Structure 1
């Protein structure tokens, strides 16, 4: 089993984020779960890759050629795939992963998380999507998503597809036992 983790190419201001990324990486490896991620050696991306590697786990990185210098492609991982575009990166990450987890990050992290969740809603995949709320980082977003449901722009069953938790072990347990709700498969899998 492999989980694609979306997280920042920056470390964030508080050391709590680095600690959470390291602990989550060690926990994944201890449970025999491989990491699929953006391939960088900097920020939280580098922290989680190092943690999974140190604990003896599999680490697959996928990085676009244009980001190799900025994100400093990680040379100490199991596999590093260099692709031409962000679209190729995201498609390959989704292909290799059995689920998706988001840790703190910036706009790129948010975009990837929302895309994976949207793909689940549209029936492109039935993989679990999780959000690890480290130190209340995603508390405001979680409230906003609930407001989107209340205002009728998101169905409760689609809201339930995003598993949000503050405890990494509990989040992994929920992901491992996840069963996708019935969704209409509006699009063919070949469209991915």
Structure 2
């Protein structure tokens, strides 16, 4: 292989990466987080078609979190498995992003909240992590209101990843009532136009989790 060919290949890699980063940043700025995973996969296919390998600084964290945002945990797992070991060792932000996926996969509610705040995210990644956290909190509020008629502020706070004062504010804004003498919340089932269908396994996982908090 001659030097000019090597230089041309490096230039192609750089051009592809710049295109990827610019497009991903535009999607993030527009809060089109649901497009990130498919965009990364499209760029991967384009690079493969040109005979180019993904560079070591490929935005794996954004790619993985893109899958998590659309609740594609299988996609996130498969991406994690195919990431080279050297890249995992060199990208702590990717490892931190995967921690979120791991906890979601195992219904480790407390672990998910810890994973959200367990790393000093870069600006672009912080935006999608915040969006995932917001969606996760909304789903958990729906789940909690479906599974329980009453729950203590302390237990609800642990499940929602909020302080007790934040929990009271958030739940009462959604129509729940607080008995200040017992510090118990009375839930109001939350119904939205896009409410997720709750399966029995999720309700069982939640019941077991809250039971563990109480004992």
More strand by share: 1
More helix by share: 2
TM-score in same-fold range (> 0.5): no
TM normalised by structure 1 equals 0.28
Which structure has the higher relative contact order (CA within 8 Å, separation 6+)?
1
TM normalised by structure 2 equals 0.26
